[in-house]
């Protein structure tokens, strides 16, 4: 399946979570076996081309795509978690949201110093979470040069923010607007 066929599998839910937002729902993509498989294949080829030695994904939808890519490539998966989810000593980073802050944590022992870790997530919007994840993984000793996404919302500028932070950004598809 090509990117246009995959894009057709994304459901758009108007006015969610608030009026004026066009929510891009991956549930219909991940529920379609051939579409999910094709998506993982595309992401895996791109991660392999980037020289991935491990794949990182952010909670929660990044776990779906990132873990599948890691399995496809025979690589380890590094879960970037919300606070308080890991039962060991973690390192973390606080980052700004539109209204407030959030935090990401990782097991520093999950990453070898200098290991080439590729970030995989479902969607890039403003880029705040991916940018924080890249910084956190770098704090843990990873080399993070690539971020892969199923969907880019280019009007929100997230991919440009990541590029300014020395990340190559690729997405399978784009949707205009918010």
Could you give the residue numbers annotated as active site? 61, 98
Dist CA 99 CA 127 (whole Å): 15
Closest CA to 88 of 108, 111, 58: 108
């Amino acid at each position: 399946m090509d990117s246009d066929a995959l894009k057709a599998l994304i459901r758009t839910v108007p006015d969610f979570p608030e009026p004026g937002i066009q929510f891009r729902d991956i549930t219909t993509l991940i529920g379609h076996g051939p579409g999910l498989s094709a998506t993982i294949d595309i992401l895996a080829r791109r991660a392999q081309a980037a020289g991935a030695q491990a794949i990182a994904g952010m909670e929660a939808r990044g776990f779906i795509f990132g873990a599948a890519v890691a399995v496809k490539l025979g690589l380890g998966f590094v879960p970037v978690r919300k606070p308080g989810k890991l039962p060991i000593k973690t390192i973390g980073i606080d980052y700004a949201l539109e209204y407030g802050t959030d935090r990401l944590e990782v097991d520093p022992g999950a990453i070898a110093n200098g290991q080439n870790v590729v970030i995989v997530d479902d969607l890039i919007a403003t880029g705040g979470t991916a940018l924080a994840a890249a910084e956190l993984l770098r704090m843990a000793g990873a080399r993070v040069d690539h971020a892969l996404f199923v969907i880019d919302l280019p009007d929100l500028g997230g991919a440009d923010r990541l590029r300014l932070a020395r990340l190559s950004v690729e997405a399978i598809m784009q949707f205009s607007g918010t």
